Structure 1
Amino acid sequence: MAASPSTARAINDRLALRLLQDTGPLTATQLKTLTGLSRPTVADLVDRLSESGLVHVVGESGAERRGPNAKLYGIVADRAHLAALDVRTRSVSVTVSDLLGTTLAEASAPVGDGGGTGPAVEKAVTLLERTAKEAGADRLHTVAVGAPGLIDPDSGELRDSTGLPAWHRRLVGVLQERLPAHVLVENETNLAAVAELREGAARDREDFVLLWLGQGVGAAVVLDGRLRRGASGGAGEIGFLPVPGTSGLPSGTGCDGGFHELVCAAAVSALAAAHGLDPAGALTSGHGPFLDALARRLAVGAAAVAAVLDPGCVVLAGETGHQGGAELAARVQSALSGLSPLRTEVRPTALGDAAVLRGALLRARDAAQDALFP
């Protein structure tokens, strides 16, 4: 069935906007070439998008032909302002950007070191408001929050967890009350995977699993270029995976005894100390025996992932993955090859500590474009 004229116009407009978003300013002739649309159709969509305030003339290009210069059209960057928050156990980082994703202001602050839930929430919200003011963003359109914990797939809310500070769950509700903006929340590991998929270590992959290795341990699953959440939003809760070498078995209320016990930040520090190393610099010391021991632990979890999903690629992220870098990734891949017949490449994060915040900004930009683009 052929699309109706209005549907066809909406599809063409969105295609043009995506091209302008991804490639930057274009002339009408370039839009015609890239979209395959006729010249009159492109002229009509440029007029519609200009009248809607989404596109404007940003310059001229005279390189295509002789005669008058051609107008260059680009997205109106300040049509919407966006914010991204990376919420950790004891800190918050904030970035404010325009619709093109250009960073306008950013800030970080410790949060939650005593004082109760209310003051912690107020400190986080105030940090966002102050950063938005610094960016010249009088009104935020979309705010994306990255936080540890499970996200309910039906409500989109951060689920209650005994391992998370109470202010984490309160923060989103207060942001919705205080700001005239669309506020959404996503698991931090999932956001890191989105950022690595689109801008980082997995840009050339349709299938991969990101292992988040920090104070907590988790994973994000990307198959066919799409983030997979699972029936309850818990796909990738690899910290609960029963593995050998732990004190027992994990439970429904705690991951002690699971993969978490082997590779969380505390376990990595203890392993470094057992090798006579200062935990603060062990991952960058190049100490072979320590890195090999850690790689063997990480390979156990990676082998389980490979056996179930066969993603072909595992990205090591979080504090441990970032600090261990390419050397740790290579050792994990070597250890993994001895545990699994499936060829699995192991890569270090390309975005490091910025992955969650970048993923949150991409999520906010996508949501804003869905709302603004016809």
Structure 2
Amino acid sequence: MTATRPQPGRNASPRTARAINDRLALHLLHREGPLTAAQLKELTGLSRPSVADLVERLQESGLIEVVGESGAARRGPNARVYGIVAGRAYVAGLDVRVDSIGVEIADLLGTTLTRAGLTVPDGADPAATIESGVRLLLDAAGGKPLHTVACGAPGLVDPGTGRLAATGELPAWHADLVDEVRRRTGVPVLLENEVNLAAVAEQRLRGGAPDETFVLLWIGGGVGAALMLEGRLRRGTSGGAGEVGFLPVAAGGRLPTATNCDDGFHGLAGSHAVCALARAHGIPAGPLADAAAAADAVRAGSPAFLDELAGRIAVGAAAICAVLDPGTVVLAGEVGAAGGTDLAERVAGRLALLSPLRTRVLATAVPSGPILRGAVITAMDRAQDALFSPQP
């Protein structure tokens, strides 16, 4: 275990220096798990008295507690092991789709406590849907005070206002639900494009370098992408980075329009296209042609069907790689997750024929609930920043 200790400025006050050291210790305890005072001394480079002081301060603030004793053989009592108080704060993630709402409640360390969801039928009353969504969140929290909520939704999130941009493709209650959650909970509510949150989960849970670059290509009901460049999400000037459904790569030379991407990459690889392709190969596909039906078709797919689907996905991936050269493309979404490594390898083979750039194609490491998990990670990071921040 190693850590680089941040160096306070020469003119930093003792109070500021103590706060910076406290934050370092808290991040180490989150990253490494429970530690003894001796281990904190080794990792921070602080003196023994300084570590003793910060442990006392953090215990008094309710941020850490004794969680056990070290088992090492030594004279005298075993050393106390300190860990972060996970119940110091609670966070929530929301996954708001066109036809469903999901919620996950977690503690300050991101451990899931509750998951719940509801289906939103076509033509549902907007006001009733909003009330049901808020009630779903509050019931899942079970009376636990929430510190931060993060919400993922399809569409463009305006960087200036933090609200969903108006679009005819999404129900109006989406933006209103987020506003009502803010009003009813009275806590910070962060809004992010849902594919971006899936990329956050991918980055954190895959275990790659914190500054890695990759594109997460979401293939589900629609298609989208999240651009993780050197460890940071690239959202674009208007929040539209990754709207690859509008890539003009449809067959027959047709072009998408500013308001319809059916003749773009969406029409080539979205769920309706995947289900139609499956039926052409004699594979049953659900009548709704939604993301679940497309995923079922992929799981039941023949090699010829998977090869043709991989060729379609590779066309979009090649366009993305020609501009960004990310080095890695991760296949996610319901279809990407259902295809797993088999589909990823087929896409990699077709991509190598279309692009001179060396690009790995990987199956997602978070096949289940990536949007909720990314929302929880986002909310947890914000809560930790607030609770762990130096207070000079």
TM-score by length of 2: 0.91
Distance 2:90 2:82 in 1: 20
In structure 2, the partner of 1:42 is 51
Inter-partner Cα distance in structure 2 for 1:296 and 1:317:
16
Moved more, 33-42 or 305-314: 33-42
CA separation of 1:225 and 1:65: change in aligned 2, threshold 3 A: farther
| Larger deviation, residues 188-197 vs 22-31 | 22-31
Matching of residue 275 in structure 1 with residue 284 in structure 2: no
- Cα deviations across residues 94-130 of structure 1 (Å, max 9, x unaligned)? 1111111111111111124333210111111111111
Q: Secondary structure at 2:354's aligned position in 1?
A: coil
Contact 2:250–2:268, Cα closer than 8 Å, also in 1: no
Residue 140 of structure 1: aligned partner: 146
Aligned-pair CA distance for 1:62: 4.0
Residues 213-252 of structure 1 aligned to structure 2 (within 5 Å): 213-245=219-251, 248-252=254-258
Structure 1 letter corresponding to 2:385:
D
Structure 2 Cα separation of the partners of residues 312 and 66 of structure 1? 53
Give the whole-Å Cα distance in 2 for the aligned partners of 1:97 and 1:147. 19
The yes-or-no answer on 1:207 pairing with 2:213 is yes
Contact 2:217/2:331 (8 A) holds in 1:
yes
Distance, in Å, in 2 between the alignment partners of 1:301 and 1:261 is: 11
2:13 matched to 1:2? no
Deviations 1:214-273 (A, max 9, x none): 112110001111111112211111111111415621222221211111000111001111
The residue matched to 1:84 in structure 2 has which SS? strand
CA 1:161–1:205 in 2, change beyond 3 Å: closer, same or farther?
same
Structure 1: where are the runs of 5+ without partners?
A: none
Q: Which amino acid aligns with 2:102?
A: S
| 1:290, distance to aligned residue in structure 2 (A) | 0.7
Report the counterpart of residue 263 of structure 2 in structure 1: 257
Residue matched to 2:182:
176
Moved more, 321-330 or 150-159: 150-159
Q: Name the residue aligned to 1:70.
A: 79
For 2:3, the equivalent position in structure 1 comes to none
1:352 is the counterpart of 2:367: yes
- Following superposition, the deviation at residue 201 of structure 1 comes to 7.6
Alignment of 1:7-156 (within 5 A): 7-63=16-72, 65-133=74-142, 137-156=143-162
Q: Distance in 2 between matches of 1:103 and 1:3?
A: 42
Distance 1:3 1:329 in 2: 53
CA pair 201-32 structure 1, distance change in 2 beyond 3 A: closer
Counterpart of 2:257, as a letter, is S
Conservation of the 8 A alpha-carbon contact between 2:210 and 2:231:
no
Q: Tell which deviates more after alignment, 35-44 or 60-69.
A: 60-69
The sequence identity of aligned pairs, in percent, is 59
Task: Specify whether residues 3 and 243 from structure 1 end up closer, same or farther in structure 2 by C-alpha distance, changes over 3 A only.
Answer: farther
Structure 2 counterpart SS, 1:31: helix
Q: Of 315, 320, 337, which aligns to 1:322?
A: 337
TM-score, reference length from structure 1: 0.95
**Number of matched pairs:** 371
CA distance in 2: counterparts of 1:129 and 1:58, whole angstroms: 30
Question: Could you say what the CA RMSD is over the residues aligned between the two structures, in angstroms?
Answer: 1.7
| SS of equivalent to 2:251 | coil
2:278–2:301 CA contact under 8 A, matched in 1: no
Letter in 2 for 1:72: V
Cα distance in 1 between the residues matched to 2:44 and 2:94: 35
Which deviates the most, 169-178 or 348-357? 348-357
Task: Write out aligned runs for 1:276-291 (5 A).
Answer: 276-279=282-285, 280=293, 281-291=296-306
- Whether the 8 Å contact between 1:197 and 1:205 is mirrored in structure 2 is no
Which residue number in structure 1 is paired with residue 347 of structure 2? 332
Aligned match for 2:316, one of 301, 304, 318: 301
For residues 11 and 364 of structure 2, the distance between their equivalents in structure 1, rounded to whole angstroms, comes to 42
- After TM superposition, which residue ranges in structure 1, 4 or more long, deviate above 4 angstroms? 201-205
Amino acid at match of 1:192: A
| Whole-angstrom CA distance in 2 between matches of 1:246 and 1:19 | 55
Query: Any stretches of 5+ residues in structure 2 without a counterpart?
Result: 1-8, 286-292
The one-character-per-residue Cα deviations of 1:124-157 (angstroms, maximum 9, x if unpaired) are: 1111111111xxx431111111111111122222
